[in-house]
Amino acid sequence: MSTLEIKDLHVSIETEQGEKEILKGVTLTINTDETHAIMGPNGSGKSTLASTIAGHPRYNVTSGSITLDGENVLEMSVDERAKAGLFLAMQYPVEVPGVTMTNFLRTAKTAIDGEAPKLRTWTKDVKEAMSKLKIDADFAGRNVNEGFSGGEKKRVEILQLELFKPKFAILDETDSGLDVDALKIVSEGVNRAQEENNMGTLLITHYTRILRYIKPDFVHVFVDGRVAEQGGPELADRLEEEGYDRYLNVKA
């Protein structure tokens, strides 16, 4: 079992008005095989947490820690984080012109594992994963994210998840812009990766919809850069009925 541990994390960014603190002391422990949902109103700092775990240079950690099995994640480069077993699906995945999906996936897999995957099994694995995610075979020859629809990008994120086999996946608004069919396919992919690879999942979402398909073990409600409440799956059910008003009223 692996553990991703976030302790009293404070994160700020530079703005035109100076330094602004976004995360104001976040503490969270995720073990492999667990699914944690982070929910909360817009602007509460959910994406900031995801970007900080991923090592986005914009976000300054002013205090607190992130460790993976005791290793200091904050000292790792973005590449090292991926090698250590962290996977971050970007909320807005970038286009990489001139790089085909096939080459990108193989290059990334090689970098993450430290050795090239065996060609025959790899090709088979890619084909199978693509077919389960109902990704068209001609995708393999297309450039990374170039002209991909929102739904296609999400499927490709999950394709990476299934192929790279990370210890922890941080999925930020993976449900946004997906119709119900696509949401089911994507959710099944996440559930497969969890079952087959013992993955731990940090599922960041504003809406409860995806939690019908990916069942969280723990739910954390983010408000104004802090965890305002934690609970089990029943907390997501309550949020579905009540929304975030009660937290925002307390704040006002």
Contact set with Mg ion (CB under 5 A): 46-47
Question: If 0-12 CB within 10 Å is exposed, 13-18 middle and 19+ buried, where does residue 195 land?
Answer: exposed
Q: What is the closest distance, in whole angstroms, from the C-beta atom of residue 47 to Mg ion in the complex?
A: 3
Residue for token pair 């907390």 = 235
Short-list 88, 16, 96, CA closest to 56: 88
Tell me if 200 contacts ligand ADP by CB under 6 A: no
Cα atoms in the Cβ-side hemisphere of radius 13 Å centred on 161: 33
Chosen from ligand ADP, Mg ion, none, partner binding at 201 (C-beta under 5 to 8 Å by type): none
Count of residues that interact with ligand ADP, criterion CB under 6 A: 12
Tokens linked to 228:
């305002």
> Binding mask 9-48 vs ligand ADP (x if CB under 6 A, - otherwise)?
----x-x------x-----------------x-xxxxxxx
8 A C-beta contact, residue 12 and residue 62 = yes
Short-list 147, 43, 155, CA closest to 97: 147
Chosen from Mg ion, ligand ADP, none, partner binding at 15 (C-beta under 5 to 8 Å by type): ligand ADP
Proportion of the chain in helix, strand, coil states, percent, rounded to 5: 40, 30, 30
Euclidean distance between CA atoms 148 and 170, whole angstroms: 21
Chosen from Mg ion, ligand ADP, none, partner binding at 45 (C-beta under 5 to 8 Å by type): ligand ADP
Residues in region 48-87 near ligand ADP by CB under 6 A: 48, 58
Euclidean distance between CA atoms 159 and 157, whole angstroms: 5
Chosen from ligand ADP, Mg ion, none, partner binding at 42 (C-beta under 5 to 8 Å by type): ligand ADP
Chosen from ligand ADP, Mg ion, none, partner binding at 17 (C-beta under 5 to 8 Å by type): none
Q: What is the closest distance, in whole angstroms, from the C-beta atom of residue 42 to ligand ADP in the complex?
A: 4
Residue nearest to Mg ion (CB): 47
Residues within the interface to ligand ADP (CB under 6 A): 13, 15, 22, 40, 42-48, 58
